[in-house]
Structure 1
Amino acid sequence: MPSFSTPTPTSRPIARIWTVLRQWFDTAPIEGAGITADHGIDWLRVLPFVALHVACLAVIWVGVSWTAVLVALELYVLRMFAITGFYHRYFAHRAFRTSRAAQLVFAILGASAVQRGPLWWAAHHRHHHKHADTERDPHSPRRGFWWSHMGWFLSRSGFQPDLSAVQDLRRYPELRWLDRFDIAVPIALAAGLFALGLWLQHAAPQLHTSGAQLVVWGFCISTVVLIHVTVTINSLAHKFGTRRYDTRDDSRNNFWLALLTFGEGWHNNHHHFPGAARQGFRWWEIDLTYYGLRLLAACGLIWDLRPVPAGLRRLGRG
């Protein structure tokens, strides 16, 4: 019979490094390492996130071109819409219906934003609404700005959410795959941008771009800006703005955040009635995501957009 010895102090760091390396590519729960209450930053695991920020400095060497800037802007717009329209309003709140094929396409686009998989995103967000601005809220600014902005998803406690909250999504194997291998789509996007840049460098030299330049602008810079703008809804939209509705949390409406996040800044509206496809309740509250959803509905790609009940809308001030 084989004997099993207690791991030596030398073997523990090696096992830890191996575990982290695996989790960079495969986020499936590891036996004996389930959901934890440890709020410390898992620096080893988040090295790729740190590297993404550092890589933006490569702009010093690759330079800038209008081609690269336009690619960065286009990817910001496309991926922000995928996050706000589908990761948030569809996967987290089921604010409309769509086909399984369209669901997969927009899940892939959302995954390219480097905000983990659709199940992870929706599970954390549903938990947030259930416990908004309480001790159980994963990213309340009552714990401090940096925690609500980044600390919560860089911590050990944020790595593995309670997926029992998203049983409706777990029945789709393709969504489970995207969630487990959440780095696959970002790697494919970066590789595609590099290949596109190489081709343009030879096919259209007048554009003054390259593979490295498109990766730095189209992937690194665009993604870093996208991530930080998205999480301002956690860190800023519960601190700055106006409150039309007396919700049980600290949510606020913020015009400037609404512009940057395509409508998510009407956050007090959203917490008043989370299930609506529209977050700008008044005609003057610009909600670019909702306009995009209406366009998709007109094309027959989505349907049954859930409205805001008139009675609930009238309860607010102004």
Structure 2
Amino acid sequence: MAILVFFIAHYYLSLFTQTFYLHRYAAHRMFTMNKFWEKFFFLFTYICQGSSFLSPRAYALLHRMHHAYSDTEMDPHSPHFSSNAFSMMWKTKNIYNDVLNHNYAAAERFEGDYPVWNAVESFGDKWYSRIGWGTAYVLFYINFATAWWQYLLLPIHFLMGPLHGAIVNWGGHKYGYQNFDNHDKSKNTLALDFLAFGELFQNNHHKLPMRVNFGVKWWEFDPTYVFIWSLDKVGVIKIKRKQKAAARMAA
């Protein structure tokens, strides 16, 4: 039971930080927050992602490239230029490392307007940070696992962030339905996106990239939007109202 709770908690907390902080805040700036909360969620992202921590800067630049070059050869993670999900992940990893190290010219035009905390970002990318988190996961399993097969979940813990990205980019650009003709291959994979917290509404998102709620039809439910709406109501963040209203009219 403890292993199941730990796995589900790690899966969804890592997923939440990726869609809420890295995607909707760092890459798109759909809402604002003060410096305290920006650093709080920066650190929270590092803790939740652990061994697979992704730099907000590098994530933002890759994602902005993804929108600008969606499903073309310039797209850093289109499934239509990779033979399988693992080769797409490897390609994305290599581009991510180049962007992280300021060695990818195509990303330069997308620089700026993302959260920066150099100390956490640098530490989170160090090998000893990643191995330390991985060791902590293994020790937890040693103490609480009740069957050998539970250890097969450990690789998912180690690569949680990239795996979420692979699910979204492979599934969201290959399987599902389209509400809009975006001149790319983006799809809405699930009407109730319990698997990726709204990220699998790729077709909607590519049409309306600044819309906070990734669901467009009345029956499309984006779980992350509920959190964003709640945080806006209590004053932790502030949704950019003008862009929100414009997106609603466009839908």
| TM-score by shorter chain over 0.5 | yes
Q: 1:260 to 1:165 in 2, by over 3 A?
A: same
Task: Work out which of the two has the higher radius of gyration on C-alpha atoms and give 1 or 2.
Answer: 1
Say which SS state the counterpart of residue 290 (structure 1) adopts: helix
- Letter aligned with residue 35 of structure 2: R
- Alignment match, 2:92: 153
Where does residue 103 of structure 2 map in the other structure? Answer: none
Structure 2: gaps (5+ residues): 100-106
Provide closer, same or farther for how the CA distance between residues 183 and 260 of structure 1 changes in structure 2, counting only shifts above 3 A: same
Give a deviation string over 1:163-211, Cα, whole Å, max 9, x none. Answer: 55232227x3x1x33333333554554466578789xx6xxxxxxx27x
**Aligned counterpart in structure 2 of residue 127 of structure 1, from 62, 65, 75:** 65
Distance 1:237 1:223, change over 3 A: same
Structure 1 residue 234 corresponds to structure 2 residue 179 = no
In structure 2, relative to structure 1, the CA distance for the partners of 1:182 and 1:256 (3 Å cut) is farther
Partner of 2:42: 107
1:197–1:245 Cα change, 3 Å: closer
From 92, 100, 113, give the equivalent of 1:168.
113
Q: Secondary structure at the match of 1:106?
A: helix
Q: Which runs of 5+ in 1 are unaligned?
A: 1-65, 202-208, 314-318
> Percent same amino acid among aligned pairs?
26
CA-to-partner distance for each residue in 1:253-274, whole Å, 9 max, x for gaps?
Answer: 1117832001111111000011
Query: How much has 1:128 moved relative to structure 2?
Result: 0.9
Alpha-carbon deviation of 1:216?
A: 5.7
Displacement after TM superposition at 1:311 (Å):
2.8
Question: 1:120, 1:163 within 8 Å by CA — same for their partners in 2?
Answer: no
Distance 1:103 1:227 in 2: 22
> Which among 44, 54, 64 is matched to residue 116 of structure 1?
54
Structure 2 counterpart of 1:178, from 117, 120, 135: 120
8 Å contact kept, 1:80–1:262: yes
Corresponding residue of 2:25: 90
TM-score, length-scaled by structure 1: 0.63
Deviations 1:136-176 (A, max 9, x none): 11112221243674132233x44212355232227x3x1x3
Runs of 4+ that moved beyond 6 A: 194-198
TM superposition shift of 1:103: 1.6
**In the alignment, what sits opposite 2:222?**
287
Cα shift readout 1:221-255 (whole Å, capped 9, x = no counterpart): 33445532432221121111111111121111111
Name the counterpart of 2:186: 251
What is the TM-score of this pair, normalised by structure 2? 0.79
Paired residue for 1:72? 7
Shift, 1:115, TM fit: 4.6
> What one-letter code is carried by the residue in structure 1 that aligns with 2:11?
Y
The answer on whether the counterparts of 1:230 and 1:261 sit within 8 Å (CA) in structure 2 is: no
State the SS of the aligned residue for 1:258. Answer: coil
Contact 1:251 1:268 in 2 (8 A): yes
